[in-house]
């Protein structure tokens, strides 16, 4: 699946217009006033994401290693090669729970871009991008390390808890790149638990934090007492 041709980036002005013009803001469920804005933009923006089938996920973390290897390449003897799959730098991160539930956490590609909205850095006059922006080609939430002021606002705004500032540099990390349209986590999951799909706000567990997802799955699978 490749979404590179869709380059209609979503601006803050359009977002505000969508929010203000809505007459049903208060009753939009999980995401409150953002729900309508997200819904109206999802199809138009053609955003795609990695979705997890939690029943199939075994918590093996192969996805983390595949992501890390592809997104953190190394130059070895003058040749650019995949990295060794250190899960620390992976953009998909598996959270384990007791009773046994594993929740791979990955960018939900929120159409209303709460992380980008929260970025206080003024748009660059030439590109129109803040320090955090949706890349026009890859559609991935992308950080410009030269302009980022490492304030952490994006991480605070992230609905899924995916964005985590680097301990040393403070730069936001772990935003899914979709691997240029061929996500390596999907390709390497031994259990077929990951798929690359269009963003759909109605999908179960969409844009929820790992703790919330785990809570629901534990109740469903193991009963209320845990």
Partner 1 sequence: MTKQIDGYHGTLLKVDLSSGKVRKQAIHPDDLKNYIGGRGLGVKLLWDHLKNKPGTDPLGPDNPLMFMAGPFSGFPAPSSSRTCVVTKSPLTSPEKSAYPHASTVSYANMGGFFGPEMRFAGYDGIVVTGQAKSPVYLYINNDTVEIRSAGKFWGMGTDRFDKAFTEELGDPRFRTCYIGQAGENGVKYACIINTAARAAGRGGTGCVMGSKNLKAIAVKGTGQPKVANHKLFLEALEEAREKFKDPKVYGRWRTAGTAAGIEYLSGQGIQAVKNFREGTFVDADKIGAKASMKHWVKSLACYCCPLACKKSGKTTDSPFAGLIHDGPEYETGTMLGANLMISDLKGILKAIYISDDYGLDMISLGNVIGFLMEAYDKKLIDKDFLDGIDLKWGSVEATIEMIHRIAAREGVGYLASMGVKALADEIGQGSHQFAMHVKGHELAAHNCHANPPRALCYATAHRGACHLNGTTIEQQNMIALADSIGVCLFALGGYGHDFAMVIKLLSAIIGSAAVGNPMETGERIYNLEKMFNYQEGFTRVDDVIPERFFQEPLTVGEKKGAVLTREQFKTMMDEFYTKRGWDLDTSKPGNAKLKTLGLVA
- Contact residues toward partner 1 (CB under 8 A) are 55, 58-62, 65-66, 69, 74, 76, 79, 81-82, 84-88, 93, 95-100, 102, 188, 190-191, 221-223, 226
Would you say 93 or 139 has its CB closer to partner 1? 93
Q: Nearest approach, Cβ of 161 to partner 1 (angstroms)?
A: 12
Q: Nearest approach, Cβ of 127 to partner 1 (angstroms)?
A: 32
State CA 64 to chain mean position distance: 14
Would you say 65 or 177 has its CB closer to partner 1? 65
Q: Nearest approach, Cβ of 183 to partner 1 (angstroms)?
A: 16
Would you say 153 or 184 has its CB closer to partner 1? 184
Would you say 29 or 223 has its CB closer to partner 1? 223
Type and span of the H or E element at 198: strand 194-198
Per the CB < 8 A criterion, the answer to whether 137 and 177 are in contact is no
DSSP string, 116-156: HHH--SPPPTTT---SEEE-TTT--EEE-TTT-----HHHH
Q: Nearest approach, Cβ of 126 to partner 1 (angstroms)?
A: 36
Type and span of the H or E element at 210: helix 210-222
In eight-state DSSP terms, residue 98 is: T
Would you say 88 or 202 has its CB closer to partner 1? 88
Type and span of the H or E element at 104: strand 101-105
Would you say 38 or 106 has its CB closer to partner 1? 106
Q: Nearest approach, Cβ of 211 to partner 1 (angstroms)?
A: 9
Q: Nearest approach, Cβ of 88 to partner 1 (angstroms)?
A: 4
């Amino acid at each position: 699946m490749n979404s590179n041709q869709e380059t209609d980036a979503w601006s803050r002005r359009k977002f505000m217009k969508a929010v203000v013009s809505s007459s049903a803001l208060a009753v939009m469920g999980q995401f409150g006033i953002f729900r309508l804005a997200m819904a109206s933009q999802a199809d138009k923006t053609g955003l795609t994401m990695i979705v997890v089938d939690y029943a199939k996920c075994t918590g093996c973390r192969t996805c983390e290693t595949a992501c890390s290897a592809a997104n953190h390449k190394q130059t070895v003897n003058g040749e650019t090669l995949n990295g060794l799959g250190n899960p620390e730098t992976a953009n998909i991160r598996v959270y384990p729970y007791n009773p046994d539930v594993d929740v791979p956490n990955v960018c939900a590609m929120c159409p209303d871009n709460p992380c980008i909205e929260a970025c206080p850095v003024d748009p660059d006059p030439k590109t129109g991008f803040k320090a955090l922006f949706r890349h026009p080609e890859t559609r991935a939430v992308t950080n410009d390390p030269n302009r980022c002021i490492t304030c952490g606002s994006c991480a605070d705004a992230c609905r899924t808890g995916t964005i985590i500032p680097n301990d040393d540099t403070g730069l936001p990390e772990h935003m899914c790149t979709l691997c240029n349209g061929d996500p390596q986590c999907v390709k390497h999951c031994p259990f077929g638990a990951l798929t690359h799909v269009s963003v759909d706000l109605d999908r179960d567990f969409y844009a929820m934090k790992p703790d919330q997802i785990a809570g629901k799955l534990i109740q469903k699978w193991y009963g209320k007492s845990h």
